[in-house]
């Protein structure tokens, strides 16, 4: 029911939905909502009915938590990526096992804290911002936030739950990413360029992928989805404009960039013309290879897996693991050793973001856009000390 009423000395539209319980026959009083316009009120009314018919009764604190959480995840399925959905589903499965038939209104902060500690103890898990238990608590808090003021008065999962539930000594210092120096980047690129002079088309794929990644720092899924038509030249600078990504998990293209709507594209950092020349040379090599092996069909994908004819026929890219193995092999030849730090193809992304942040006069919003991040994410996640700057600053200080 939608009705125009006075609220706080202002005319607004009241939305009341009172479905009848199919078992008891009694009316279910869902929370009343208000809207400023009739069209907005109609939209809200449809959303309330949709939520109720899907089984997610946001006004009922007596519902089983794990079941309601599963319905909450099911509703999100069409709005998040398959990889993100898997993470949410893992949480749903974990909550079902631990909480069983516990009702929503029976879950308080003390019980959530106990769950967090039990999980860490049972799995001998680490405690950090990127840990599994951190994700579980974020998912749980998101669910309870959606029903706060409806089925519950206060969210039982506090903001910054990890810091409240665990002592500082319980936290694990996250393993740092290895940041490549300018000299190491130069050695990597030199090895690849020399190799390409006498490599077959099949062996160009992984090496060229590492070379392009060393200049752009794009996400690996974006690298896998790179096409020859993504090459652009604007104001005399060569670069790539990308709008798609690949998922090894789903074995398919996502149709969009991470956390961006379909159709959105972004320009990457500039790359040297010499890299574009190599790319165009490879385009000819790839075309000849496909033709000579009877692999037909229009395909503009750069990093087709030429080692697997079936995969190549269907126009699917080389796997992330293969590119990472190529990168680590090149690092060994370049005498690059990470010691206790993380070293993978993703190190290029961390390295480039760090160098952007340490460039005098750099516009951080511009840098964040090139890397496909929000400004806050760029600053919080990637900004650290550039090893190339570290030595200079040390010498400046002691000198």
- Per-residue confidence (pLDDT) for residue 54, from 0 to 100: 60
Question: Into how many domains does the chain fold?
Answer: 3
Within a domain: 261? yes
Last residue of a domain, one of 174, 198, 216: 174
DSSP secondary structure letter of residue 266: E
The pairs formed by 5-8 with CB atoms below 8 angstroms and a separation of 24 or more are 7/34
Q: Which residues contact 139 (CB under 8 A, 6 or more apart)?
A: 87, 88, 91
Residues 83 and 100 in one domain: yes
- Whether 194 maps to a domain, the answer reads yes
Residue span of the structural domain in which 7 resides: 1-53
Q: What does each of the 399 residues of the chain score in pLDDT, given as a tens digit?
A: 888 888 776 778 888 888 775 545 667 677 788 888 888 888 888 887 776 666 555 557 888 999 999 999 998 888 888 888 999 999 999 999 999 999 999 999 999 999 999 999 999 888 988 899 999 999 999 999 988 877 788 899 999 899 999 988 888 877 888 999 999 999 999 999 999 999 999 999 999 999 999 999 999 999 999 999 999 999 899 999 999 999 998 999 999 998 788 889 999 999 999 999 999 999 999 999 999 988 876 679 999 999 888 888 888 999 999 999 999 999 999 999 998 899 999 999 999 998 998 888 888 889 999 999 888 888 777 665 555 666 666 677 666
Statement to judge: residues 168 and 299 lie in one domain? no
Q: For the beta carbon of residue 98, count every other beta carbon within 10 angstroms.
A: 16
Q: Sheet containing 231-234: give its strands across.
A: 231-234, 237-242, 266-267
Which is it for the CA torsion 146, 152, 154, 155, positive or negative? negative
Are both 240 and 389 inside the same structural domain? yes
What CATH number has the domain bearing residue 117? 1.10.150.130
Count Cβ atoms below 10 Å from residue 259 Cβ, excluding itself. Answer: 13
Indicate if 170 and 186 belong to the same structural domain. no
Note the pLDDT tens digit of each residue in 127-162.
988 899 999 999 999 999 988 877 788 899 999 899
Task: Name the token pair of 285.
Answer: 């090599």
Domain identity same for 18 and 93? no
Domain co-membership, 304 together with 362: yes
* 133 occurs within a structural domain: yes
Predicted pLDDT of residue 288: 92
Residues 266 and 362 in one domain: yes
Query: Do 259 and 337 fall into the same domain?
Result: yes
What gap in Å lies between CA 291 and CA 312, rounded to an integer? Answer: 12
Question: Do 342 and 352 form a contact (C-beta atoms < 8 A)?
Answer: no
Domain boundary among 174, 207, 240: 174
Report pLDDT for 10.
79
The b-or-e profile of 207-236 (16+ CB within 10 A means b, else e) is: bbbbbbbbbbbbbbbbbbbbebebbeeeee
DSSP 31: P
For 243, phi then psi, to 5°, come to -150, 15
Task: Say if CB 351 and CB 383 are below 8 A apart.
Answer: no
Q: Is residue 21 part of a domain?
A: yes
Are 264 and 357 found together in one domain?
yes
Residue 316, domain member (yes or no): yes
Domain boundary among 11, 37, 53: 53
Instruction: Please answer whether residues 337 and 198 qualify as being in contact, where contact means their C-beta atoms are separated by less than 8 angstroms.
Output: no
The rounded distance, in Å, linking the Cα atoms of 309 and 315 is: 10
Is-contact 99 91, C-beta < 8 A? no
In angstroms, how far is the first alpha carbon of the chain from the final one? 77
Residue 399 included in any domain: no
In the prediction, which pLDDT does 130 show?
Answer: 84
104 domain residue, yes or no: yes
Q: Mark whether 104 and 247 lie in a shared domain.
A: no
List the CATH number of the domain containing 241: 1.10.443.10
CA R_g for the chain:
27
Residue 398 lies in a domain: no
Residues 105 and 186 in one domain: no
* Three-state DSSP string of 309-340: HHHHHCCCECCHHHHHHHHHHHHHHCCCCCCC
Between CA 130 and CA 381 the distance in angstroms is: 11
Q: Helix or strand or coil: residue 241?
A: strand
Is residue 40 located within the same domain as residue 98? no
């Amino acid at each position: 029911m939608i009705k125009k009423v006075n609220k706080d000395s202002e005319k607004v539209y009241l939305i009341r939905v009172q479905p009848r319980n199919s078992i008891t026959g009694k009316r279910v009083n869902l929370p009343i909502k208000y809207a400023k316009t009739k069209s907005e009120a109609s939209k809200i009314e449809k959303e309330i009915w949709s939520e109720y018919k899907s089984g997610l009764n946001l006004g009922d604190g007596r519902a089983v938590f794990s079941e309601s959480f599963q319905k909450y995840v099911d509703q999100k399925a069409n709005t998040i990526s398959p990889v993100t959905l898997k993470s949410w589903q893992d949480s749903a499965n974990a909550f079902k096992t631990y909480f069983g038939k516990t009702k929503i209104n029976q879950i308080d902060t003390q019980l959530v804290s106990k769950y967090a500690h039990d999980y860490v103890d049972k799995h001998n898990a680490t405690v950090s911002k990127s840990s599994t238990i951190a994700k579980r608590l974020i998912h749980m808090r998101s669910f309870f936030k959606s029903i706060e003021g409806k089925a519950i008065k206060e969210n039982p999962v506090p903001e910054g739950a990890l810091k409240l539930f665990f002592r500082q000594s319980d936290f694990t210092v996250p393993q740092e990413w290895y940041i490549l120096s300018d000299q190491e980047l130069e050695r990597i690129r030199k090895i690849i360029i020399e190799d390409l002079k006498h490599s077959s088309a099949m062996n160009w794929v992984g090496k060229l992928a590492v070379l392009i990644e060393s200049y752009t720092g794009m996400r690996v899924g974006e690298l896998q989805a790179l096409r020859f038509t993504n090459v652009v030249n604007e104001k005399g600078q060569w670069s790539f404009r990308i709008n798609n990504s690949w998922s090894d998990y789903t074995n398919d293209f996502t149709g969009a960039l991470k956390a961006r709507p379909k159709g959105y594209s972004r320009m990457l950092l500039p790359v040297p013309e010499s890299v574009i020349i190599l790319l165009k040379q490879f385009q000819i090599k790839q075309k000849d290879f496909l033709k000579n092996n009877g692999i037909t069909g229009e395909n503009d994908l750069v990093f087709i897996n030429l080692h697997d004819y079936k995969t190549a026929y269907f126009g699917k890219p080389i796997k992330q693991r293969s590119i990472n193995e190529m990168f680590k092999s090149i690092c060994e030849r370049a005498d690059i050793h990470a010691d206790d730090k993380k070293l993978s193809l993703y190190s290029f992304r961390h390295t480039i973001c760090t160098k952007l942040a340490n460039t005098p006069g750099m516009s951080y919003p511009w840098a964040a856009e090139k890397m496909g991040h929000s400004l806050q994410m760029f600053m919080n996640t990637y900004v650290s000390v550039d090893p190339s700057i570290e030595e200079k600053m040390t010498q400046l200080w002691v000198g």
